Amino acid sequence: MKLWLAKQRYLIDFTLASLARRKTRNLGLLAVYTVLVFMLSSVTLYTHALRQEAARVLTASPEVIVQRMVAGRHDLIPPGYIEKVGRIRGVQKIEGRLWGYYYDAVTKANYTFMVPAENAPVAGEIVVGPALERSRGLAKNNGISFRSYSGKLHSFIVADVLPQASELISADLVLMSEASFRAFFDYPVGHYTDIALSVANPQEVRNVALKLAAALPDARPILRDEVLRTYASIYDWREGIVLALLSAAILAFGILAWEKASGLSAEEKREIGILKAIGWETGDVIKMKFWEGLLISLTAFLAGFVAAYVHVFHFAAALFEPVLKGWAVLYPRFQLTPHIDGLQVATLFFFTVVPYAAAVLVPIWKAAITDPDSVMRS
Amino acid sequence: MIEVTGIRKAFNQGRDNEYWALDGIDLHIEAKKVTALRGPSGSGKTTLLTIVGCLARPTEGRVHLLGEDISGLPERFLTEIRRKRFGFIFQQFNLIKGLTALDNIILPAYPTGRPRHELLARAEELLAGLKLGHRRDAKVEWLSGGEQQRVAICRALINDPEVVIADEPTANLDTHLAGEFMGILENLADQDRTILLTSHDPLVVESSVVHRVVDMRDGKLIVHG
């Protein structure tokens, strides 16, 4: 066992020395490899974090949202409408929601003004999202004014700032009292933006939605699962677009890696011949070259993945953000909650490390099983 | 020590350019003696050396080492024989560039798993014996031809082999360095090692260090005695 361990150590020593001897070539390959892993990892980490973020937010959202459609457009819920929805069998809890968008010319950003179902701020006070805190330099107890669409200036005191978790939704949020909201947007009393409802039996959500559509033809029920699926397909599509754009880079790397891994230089063939001639077994030569390939690909994978993690979760994926995030109106920046999926890491590892390490083996095996007598003639 | 019988070796067998490099060689190599294979280029000296040294297999014929038929052994066993029993000094030295003299010397001992300090001590002893101790940490490509050959000799001896095989050992050396090599060869012979070499250098084949000269031409032995 001791001899075996010493032998493995010698093999690794020689492998490291071998890598150092071809420093320029290996560093070049390592750099290209790392950049590729970085790009792929950035895309997958970012889209996965967005999916997770959406799923986390939607878990707490109502099972069904009902909007009223007039002339194909979303319109206000009039008084008495909520009672009609509440009479449908299976509906457990129902409430009208008040929310709307506000464009802030100062920061050139769109905010979402909303009246929360519980713990709403008192009139004249607001609770703001972290993006507003950053972009408007707000802190607790600061005052801020917004000019409403009717041209009137409304002043508020910041009662609190929302936590950074789930910033995807909370980034641009401004929570206020019902009175403040109705005053700001000139909303008539008894009118709502939409209706949130929960269903007694979760298995019956789809049936309740069908009954709703039948009873109120101008109602558009939106199921939580449908929203989640839509988010997922949007991110999948965006991820696919980016990966398609990166495919040229992936292909170029593939060719480079294959060329480097599968083609042995005359010098490498000579070295294999020497090692075999002086008593190295075929298995030792293969192991040594395998270690060499594995070290390069593993180092590139780790470096690329760590760089991608930093890029996505500390620099908000600055390189891919415009393509992947996709909201033209979501100007306030938001930070994603770091999340790594084991399966995703394993998939990335499998598609970046394993092919290279395997590609190294074929030519080495071919060279290593030939008689070492060629070395006598070189 | 080594007995080869009916050795034939073909290259490109079955093709239009088939070529028989060795054509029926019977040779007995005595233990603890220096045997030189002499002949012009293309006579088959190096091919015979590769077969005796288990670097290649004969197309036909048998090789016996210490009475054991090794011609049909699997590659793994041949590698072990090469490592334990043979030390090779190649014509072009075949050192690995980028590694130091010391690292080159201990390379054949890696598969044995012997402790590093033991290998280093042995390598340093060999280098000192060949007056090359001061160049131990120099990369081999920085060494002169004579120094490179001495490193190659040290590498051949690191596993303390019974048989040393040298292919045209003086071909790349000037007269002075060739003379030095003969001194080293004499020392190796004094250590009771079996030495088989190829050469057409009179300095080697006519030297008193060489016990026996075997002439070859066109893949056959001319003189056998």
Residue A115 belongs to a domain: yes
Query: Going along chain A, which residue ranges are E strands?
Result: 64-70, 73-75, 91-104, 109-115, 125-128, 143-147, 153-161, 173-176, 194-199, 219-223
Give residue B165's pLDDT: 94
Interface of B with A in 116-135 (CB under 8 A): 116
Indicate yes or no: CB of B113 within 8 angstroms of CB of A373.
Answer: no
Last residue of a domain, one of A192, A222, A246: A192
Residue A202 belongs to a domain: no
Indicate yes or no: CB of A376 within 8 angstroms of CB of B55.
Answer: yes
* CA B203 to each of CA A121, A263, B36, B132: distance values in angstroms, whole numbers, following the listed order: 105, 43, 12, 23
* CA B124 to each of CA B13, B106, B119, B162: distance values in angstroms, whole numbers, following the listed order: 45, 10, 9, 20
Do residues A121 and A247 share a domain? Answer: no
DSSP 3-state of B201: coil
Q: Which two tokens stand for residue B142?
A: 């920085």
Q: Which domain holds residue A252?
A: 2-57+230-377
**Average pLDDT of adjacent 10-residue blocks, chain A of 378 residues:** 82 87 85 87 82 73 85 88 85 89 86 88 90 85 91 92 71 90 92 89 84 85 78 68 67 67 75 89 85 87 93 81 55 64 84 77 74 64
Do residues A98 and A182 share a domain? Answer: yes
A13, A276, A375, A376: best to mutate for the B interface, most B CBs within 10 A: A376
Do residues A39 and A100 share a domain? Answer: no
CA distance B48 to chain A (A): 11
Q: Identify the DSSP state of A63.
A: S
Q: What is the CATH number of the domain that holds A112?
A: 2.40.40
CA distance A22 to chain B (A): 9
- Which of B46, B91, B108 has the CB atom closest to A278's CB atom? B108
- The count of domains in chain A is 2
Q: Does B55 touch chain A (CB under 8 A)?
A: yes
Residue A270 belongs to a domain: yes
In this complex, how many residue pairs, one in chain A and one in chain B, have their CB atoms less than 8 Å apart? 93
pLDDT tens-digit map of B1-39? 899 999 999 988 888 888 899 999 999 999 999 999 999
Do residues A237 and A341 share a domain? Answer: yes
Tell me the longest C-alpha to C-alpha distance in chain B: 53
Global ipTM: 0.90
Residue A357 belongs to a domain: yes
pLDDT tens-digit map of B61-109? 999 998 889 988 888 898 899 999 999 999 888 999 999 999 999 999 9
Q: Which residue in chain A has the smallest CA separation from B86?
A: A278
- Report the alpha-carbon distance of residue A300 to residue A280 in Å, rounded: 29
Do residues A185 and A83 share a domain? Answer: yes
Q: What would the CATH number be for the domain defined by B2-223?
A: 3.40.50.300
Task: Give residue limits of the domains in chain B.
Answer: 2-223
Per DSSP bridges, beta strands A173-176 and A109-115 are: parallel
Do residues A106 and A42 share a domain? Answer: no
Do residues A53 and A179 share a domain? Answer: no
Do residues A46 and A91 share a domain? Answer: no
Do residues A373 and A296 share a domain? Answer: yes
Give the CA dihedral B138, B141, B145, B151, nearest 10 degrees.
Answer: 50
Residue A354 belongs to a domain: yes
pLDDT tens-digit map of B164-192? 999 988 887 888 888 888 888 888 888 88
